[in-house]
Amino acid sequence: MLKDFAKAYQPDKETVKASLRSERDRLFANQMKIKDAKLPVMVIFEGWGAAGKGSVISSVIQNIDPRFFRVATTNADPTEEEKRKPFLYRYFIQIPEAGKFQFFDTCWMEEVVNGVIDKTLDHETYEKRIKSINMAERQLHDNGYLVMKFFFNISKKEQKSRLDALLADKNTKWRVSKTDLWENRHYDECLEVYDRYLEDTHRANAPWYIIDAKNRKWAELQVLQFLNQGIDTALKNHSLAVPILQNTFPLEPIADLKDIPLDKTISDEDYKKELEALQAELHDLHYKLYRKKIPVIIAYEGWDAAGKGGNIKRITGALDPRGYVVEPIASPTAPEKARHFLWRFWTRLPKTGHITIFDRTWYGRVMVERLEGFCSENDWQRAYNEMNEFEKELADWGAVVIKFWVQIDNQTQLERFTDRQNTPEKQWKITDEDWRNREKWDLYENAVNEMLKKTNTSYAPWHILESVDKKYARIKALKIVIAAIKEALKKAGEK
């Protein structure tokens, strides 16, 4: 589309000046409207070196109260620390919260096209990146975000004359990078790559707008016009329901909760022996996966009083504290609630070689949030696929993803609740809410069954931990974690 792009018709100076005034006023008014409507606005600027993105961003934000926007900063190349996270991570953690703008002075495009140009990104990885980006932008749109993408376009000749002018002045010389000069010399080659990327990521839910950047004021006017128009449209679509996409990830069959026998036990003696041996094994494996830089994510869900906490302790008991973290997930905080529901999990991802254990997870979306009406039906129905996509990103990154459902029966829960209630030192563990949730057991069981069936992917499978005998469940969890890590090490060794 870049190649086909004819310069937009540029009005005369006076018209640009007058229109700029009115579009700036319009943006000023729109900032209050997006605040009231709680609309999050993500604005991505990409383009040729020296095309003037920075100065247009500076002008645009002059019209917005500093409380309502942030400018994201992303280096062209990821830092060493960022390289140890999934590709999308360093961008996704910077998404705006509801009612605010986030301006990206380059986003996920730059890293990808640079990779193609300097041949560090092979075709297969390129296609994977495109899929990830389209997925992320679609998910943001579907979760109520306005995503606006601008590409600043200038000709080879124009770029050259700008770079020459910068170089000629000793005060601006430093602003010209080697990359800029290389880009200008290989303009046509870069054009091919940029054009392909724009085509590959031009979607109606996050379309590209190409900015004729020859003149700064005219460029700003185009940006403001598109931005204001985009905001107007998004504000009209406040209660949008979006299509539920089909899950196309490989799903494994999984039994209904009611069909799972819960009579499995282990003797105290066997438990002690096995625990010791398994923890020793996991301890050693932890160092191996650290050295192989394999990230591990262990997700715990289960009934209240099923024994998640004690189970997690038996895993962490085997681990070096420098290499893992447990993330207890409660109700979202205000900044978390104001963003995409997966944001608070993206921000908590481990780096390569590390383990993160989630005590409750993103699956709250299709359990408590579904049943308590904290999100719309469209939201939770769509979430199964969104969570499968999220875990696919993790798996593709190389992570071991293990999901545990800690299972007990209704009667066992009652016994444990009563015990907690009657034992002074356990009373802090039981709340009125626990009792209220217990009344909805059947609704929850139904939701859990649907969740297990729709998200039991081969790359991030669920494991049922039969936890009427908590010791049995702990040994089973340790074995599953060990097997999964061994498998990953084997694969890593084979490479």
Note the residues at the interface with a copy of itself (CB under 8 A): 1, 4-6, 8-9, 138, 141-142, 203-205, 207-210, 226, 229-230, 232-233, 236-237, 239-246, 248-253, 378, 381, 453, 458
Cα–Cα nearest to 41, from 146, 179, 124, 142: 146
Is residue 407 a contact partner of residue 464, using CB atoms and an 8 Å limit?
yes
Which residue, 140 or 275, has its beta carbon nearer to a copy of itself? 140
Q: Count CB atoms within 10 A of the CB of residue 322.
A: 9
Which residue, 202 or 272, has its beta carbon nearer to a copy of itself? 202
Which residue, 215 or 279, has its beta carbon nearer to a copy of itself? 215
Which residue, 46 or 327, has its beta carbon nearer to a copy of itself? 46
Cα–Cα nearest to 219, from 339, 2, 57: 57
Q: Count CB atoms within 10 A of the CB of residue 334.
A: 7
Nearest approach in angstroms of CB 205 to a copy of itself is: 5
Nearest approach in angstroms of CB 37 to a copy of itself is: 13
User: Which residues touch 393 (CB under 8 Å, ≥6 apart)?
Assistant: 86, 87, 88, 132, 135
Which residue, 8 or 414, has its beta carbon nearer to a copy of itself? 8
Nearest approach in angstroms of CB 458 to a copy of itself is: 7
Identify the residue whose tokens are 């605010």: 100
Cα–Cα nearest to 287, from 318, 317, 258, 313: 318
Nearest approach in angstroms of CB 197 to a copy of itself is: 15
SS3 content of the chain, % helix, strand, coil (to 5): 55, 15, 30
Nearest approach in angstroms of CB 210 to a copy of itself is: 6
Distance CA 407, CA 339 (A): 31
Tokens linked to 246: 């089909």
Nearest approach in angstroms of CB 74 to a copy of itself is: 24
Which residue, 300 or 397, has its beta carbon nearer to a copy of itself? 397
Which residue, 140 or 278, has its beta carbon nearer to a copy of itself? 140
Tokens linked to 298: 């262990």
Nearest approach in angstroms of CB 150 to a copy of itself is: 10
